[in-house]
Amino acid sequence: MTPYLGTGRAGLWVRPANLHYRSVAYTRVGDLLLGLTALALLRGRVQELGGKRYSDARVNDLRRILDHWGEPALQRDANWQPAAAADGYAVWAQSYDDEANPLIELDQATLAPLIARHASGAALDAACGTGRWSKFLAERGFAVIGVDESPEMLERATSKLPSVDFRRADVRSLPVGSESLDLVVCSLALTHLPELDNVMAEFARVLRPGGAAIVSNIHHLSQPLGGSAEVVLPDGRLVRLPLSLFLPSDYVNAAVNAGFTIRVCIEACWPDAGQQYGGPTAQEWCAEAAHVAYTSTPGLIALELVKPVGHTAHGAGV
């Protein structure tokens, strides 16, 4: 039973320690396939997926995987070392725009309508990466500032968008004046932080009253399905970037603590068509299970937050 904290400022409950910011050292492909199949089997308890035929098929998937457990494809594993996000993105920047990424596609489809309903003004693309949302905002008439801690990502962004004002900084200490912006967009970056209170307070600080922050992140339920950023560094080290399993309540509490009103909260599921989920090995061993496991799981959480008129926020920046 979850212990109750009472009526404290943030808290309704004590956050489980095993969900905090951490690094996972070991992964194996066969473990992922067993997990996907077991999750798909559980889905059959709450969704009509074919009754006994479906359940028996998933049990057969599990049996087949375990009967061939020694196969090299199933035993392919890795021991990951922790690394700072900036170290990983220094390498990833070279191919970031060239790789198909279903999470980015889901993010684009979810956030674009939220952003498009805002009138042009001064906007911040926080953790801008190579400038995907900076481009979207600039094309809609916003005066855009892009901020990222990775010089390699900023170099790619600047080469594509020379008219945008890109600055190197941490999103928790923005080089932007207080109450100087109409819109903040922060996409697929917050998972690298150990907590959300500081960054939400900083977003509130830089927004004018009536301004909005639109934030997104991989949903915590999809992180075990392969949602961790993993990179091979030039020295051959296998590294996994910092990862926090933020619950929806974490975003809500941090936003409310910063003084925001929540206008929209979306938990967007993976699309039901057009993807071969789980990678080629999953497609070979448990394709139907992988499809069910992904498409019944939220892939993204997105929130639109509004700074109320009359609210003044204080933070770490300019």
What CATH homologous superfamily does 19-25+77-290+298-306 map to?
Vaccinia Virus protein VP39 (3.40.50.150)
pLDDT for 13 equals 47
Residue extents of the structural domains in the chain: 19-25+77-290+298-306
pLDDT for 194 equals 92
Q: Mean pLDDT for each consecutive 10-residue tract of the chain (318 residues)?
A: 34 50 77 96 95 97 98 93 80 75 92 95 96 96 96 93 96 97 97 95 98 97 84 80 90 97 96 82 95 94 95 56
Q: Tell me how crowded residue 213 is: count the other CB atoms within 10 A of its CB.
A: 26
pLDDT for 19 equals 54
pLDDT for 9 equals 39
pLDDT for 3 equals 31
